[in-house]
Amino acid sequence: MKDAVFAIPTPSLLIEAVRIINDMHIKEQNRDTKGDLYEYLLSELKTAGKNGQFRTPRHIIRMMVELANPSLGDTICDPACGTAGFLVASNEHILKNNTSPEFIKKDEEGNEYNFKGDKLNPDQFEVLREHTLYGYDFDQTMSRISLMNLMMHGINDPHIKQINTLSARYDEENHYTVVLANPPFKGSIDESEIGGKFTIKTKKTEILFLEVMYTMLQSGGRCSVIVPDGVLFGSSRAHKAIRKRLLEECRLDAVISMPSGVFKPYAGVSTGVLFFTKGEPTKKVWFYDMTADGYSLDDKRTFIDGKGDIPDILEKFGKRENEKYEDRKAKCFFVPVDEIKENDYDLSISKYKEIEYEEIQYEKPEVIKQKILDLESKITKTLSELEI
């Protein structure tokens, strides 16, 4: 936001701006117009931030929130909140689940809106607005954007703090019931900043954030987080240690492999979504090979249907306890934890997915050779006829 100019230079432009906003308020009374405007402005911020800051696409955020399924009474935290997209989506998810069906509408792309929360009483509304959503970011600009984004969506007193949750200054433990995040992938932190709070010795922020999320969760708390593929198969001691913790001290419910184009044009890094519950060991892990997210996977990210595999992911994840999902040639399947341990705690889907190869029958070399000779003869004859 540096160098931005907010002044309205002429009285006539001010009058026109007020008229447009007033008209929108009258015409779109059933929409969160201010919130939509702010989200649109955030989507137009094309420059990637420092330290690996990339804005998470909203449809991916909604998918992750659906997986975690936060409800009234949860305390929800994003330890690297950026523009507060996960917190806004969590607020909308809770309101949606407490809105009568007759109020809910759909836009031209099929997205639902107009979540009034009419089933909530005043005390419940106060819990949602005052005691549910918490966010942290070390970047001052991002903290300010998060504050404004939540206020634009009806959270009058947002709990957003400017603090580096990897530093020794942050010390909350067993505090939250839901954690949602897309922490910075690249970079490292100075050992003097970390202090003695981490049990896994590394400077890699993606691993440190996973330990922070584990620590801040209450027993039984749920976490939905985006990680770079390296976390899933990295061979360092720290990589193996964090995967071992997720499998032995948590129930790792799902590993969703996302296509590399999801974060374009900012980055082409391959990523995955981990969903885990703290406090009980893993018995089996549900893997899903996501190949489409509803947009083209090139730098243009052209709208296709805005959904891709997401509805299938949510449907199959929701009924996974009643399905076997044994076919490893399919898009999703279970892998027993013992098999994962035997593979050095590797969580990359390619380690377990079976690829079906089609056997192609080729003609014998002498047959192919004869066909080439016959074709050459025909070409020579045709050229001779043309010359005559």
Question: CA 70 to CA 115: how far, in whole Å?
Answer: 15
Give the per-residue pLDDT at 33: 56
Residue 350's identity, in one-letter code, is S
Domains of the chain: 11-351 (3.40.50.150)
Burial of 172 by CB count in 10 Å (0-12 exposed, 13-18 middle, 19+ buried)?
middle
Grade residue 29 by pLDDT with cuts at 50, 70 and 90: very low
Helices (H), the chain: 11-27, 33-43, 58-68, 85-96, 122-130, 140-152, 191-194, 205-216, 229-233, 237-248, 310-318, 337-342, 365-387
Average pLDDT, the chain: 87
Q: Is the pLDDT of residue 27 over 50?
A: no
Among 172, 176, 173, 273, which Cα is nearest to 221's? 176
Model pTM?
Answer: 0.82
- Token readout for 99 is 């809105």
157-164: average pLDDT: 93
Q: What per-residue confidence (pLDDT) applies to 258?
A: 96
pLDDT band at 123; cut points 50, 70, 90 = very high
Q: Mean per-residue pLDDT for 198-204?
A: 90
Q: Report the pLDDT averaged over residues 14-23.
A: 78
Can the peptide bond before residue 101 be classed as cis, meaning omega within 30 degrees of 0?
no
Please report the pLDDT score of residue 39 as a whole number: 60
Beta bridge partners of 334: 286
Instruction: Identify the pLDDT of residue 386.
Output: 77
Q: What does the pLDDT read at residue 42?
A: 61
Q: How many CB atoms lie within 10 A of CB 107?
A: 11
